[in-house]
Structure 1
Amino acid sequence: MSTASRGVVCLSATAASAADWVRRGIVPCHVLEHASWSVVVPARTSAAAGAPYDDALTVLASRHIRPRLGPAIGLFRFDDVAVLTGRAAGRASTRWALRDGDGRVVGGEDLPRLSPEDLHRTLASGPATREVPIRRVRDLWHRSELTHDEWLVEVITVLGLPGGRVLDGTDTHLGPVIAPHARSIAGFESAVKDVHQ
């Protein structure tokens, strides 16, 4: 991944289940297993599909997560915007928080908004981890002095999730690349072919 953009998705699932999810998508990824979460990291900047679906980070951030893989929390940086996504366990929808260049956390147009309370509930619906006070999550929305990279690392640290060393660039030994199945790529291309016309 380029230093201008990076991201991870933390799934409350085994590494085998997370790898299966990657194979059913269009983004080659690494999967790192931790005690209660698996961390999915895009392995390349390009997805295995044509434009406008060729940006790996955008596709990964917006990808549907099956209920049995949740809860899920995504942390991404796209040049001048940091993005935080959260989907609680069960059939909840994914919610979004975008952090602009001034360090303000806002909602995205036509996207369900992720509030600190939503994020706290998402975390609480997952595997047993240390309890995080809601005030610490609310404080994250006011940390405007941090860069986007620092803010994302602070979010993952406060939440007690793995993947901070991937986000800050210090963990570069991510293991093998898991490639999407050819049939998944073909199915995706078939589903979106009308968009290209």
Structure 2
Amino acid sequence: MVLLAASSASAVEWVRRGVVPCHVLEHSAWSIVVPATRASVTAAPYDDALALLASRHVGPRLTPSIGLFAMDDTAVVTARAGRSPARWALRAADREIVRGPRLPALTPEDLHRTLAGNPGAREVPIREVRALWGRTDLTHLEWLVEVVTVLGLPGGRALDGSDGALGPVISPDESAVRAFESAVKDVHQ
């Protein structure tokens, strides 16, 4: 799931410029983007919808953005504010936060700063955000839902799968898919 500090119309436009079919849920301060399938509309090795959505660029007019993903034996939180690069927190199989190779690390302080002053997020004491990094008692999905809960963000029910009313699927535009496939064609060979 990706939370964008933008209108649902802007979020729909962002989804259409990508390669992952998604649902877009409207909230008063955020747009919630939930992948509709586990596979993108592109061929391997770019067919993993979660990996593509987690690594997808979010422009400054859609930030701050927060991504929350459970992928295999890893939980991933991404955060981006303004023109800064996306930062990553990876929670490994042992439930410890680790650094990703060549990925800018997301610290509790970075996450706290990303949300500071955003009307769509409640003011959370930094100690509560830091405490999330030490929670090894939760499964990855439980931990991601706890992150959303502690930060006062919407989308917990969409994240844990209990929200059955996700609305229509927004499909990527064919021109966006062609452009993506053209850009990565050398990788397929």
Shorter-normalised TM range:
over 0.9
Name the residue aligned to 2:94. Answer: 102
Alpha-carbon distance in structure 2 between the residues aligned to 1:79 and 1:51: 17
1:36 aligns with 2:34: no
Amino acid at match of 1:168: D
Amino acid at match of 2:124: V
Runs of 4+ in 1 over 4 A off after TM superposition: none
Report if the CA contact (8 A) 1:85-1:96 is conserved: yes
Alpha-carbon distance in structure 2 between the residues aligned to 1:49 and 1:187: 11
Q: Deviations over 1:142-164 (max 9, x none)?
A: 00011111100000001111110
Report if the CA contact (8 A) 1:70-1:126 is conserved: no
Name the residue aligned to 2:49. Answer: 56
Name the residue aligned to 2:3. Answer: 10
Alpha-carbon distance in structure 1 between the residues aligned to 2:114 and 2:164: 28
Name the residue aligned to 1:115. Answer: 107
Residue in structure 1 matching 2:168, options 167, 176, 180: 176
Amino acid at match of 2:48: D
Instruction: Please state whether the residue corresponding to 1:145 is helix, strand or coil.
Output: coil
Residue 93 of structure 1, CA deviation? 0.3
Amino acid at match of 1:178: I
Name the residue aligned to 2:145. Answer: 153
Alignment of 1:71-110 (within 5 A): 71-88=64-81, 90-110=82-102
Alpha-carbon spacing, 1:174–1:128, altered in 2? closer, same or farther (3 Å) = closer
Query: What TM-score do you get using the length of structure 2 for normalisation?
Result: 0.98
1:188 aligns with 2:186: no
Aligned positions, number: 189
Amino acid at match of 1:160: G
Amino acid at match of 1:157: T
Alpha-carbon distance in structure 2 between the residues aligned to 1:129 and 1:122: 10
Unaligned runs of 5+ in 2: none
Alpha-carbon spacing, 1:195–1:125, altered in 2? closer, same or farther (3 Å) = farther
Instruction: Please state whether the residue corresponding to 1:96 is helix, strand or coil.
Output: strand
Unaligned runs of 5+ in 1: 1-7
Q: Deviations over 1:28-58 (max 9, x none)?
A: 0000010100100000111011110011111
Amino acid at match of 1:185: V
Alpha-carbon distance in structure 2 between the residues aligned to 1:32 and 1:178: 11
Identity %: 66
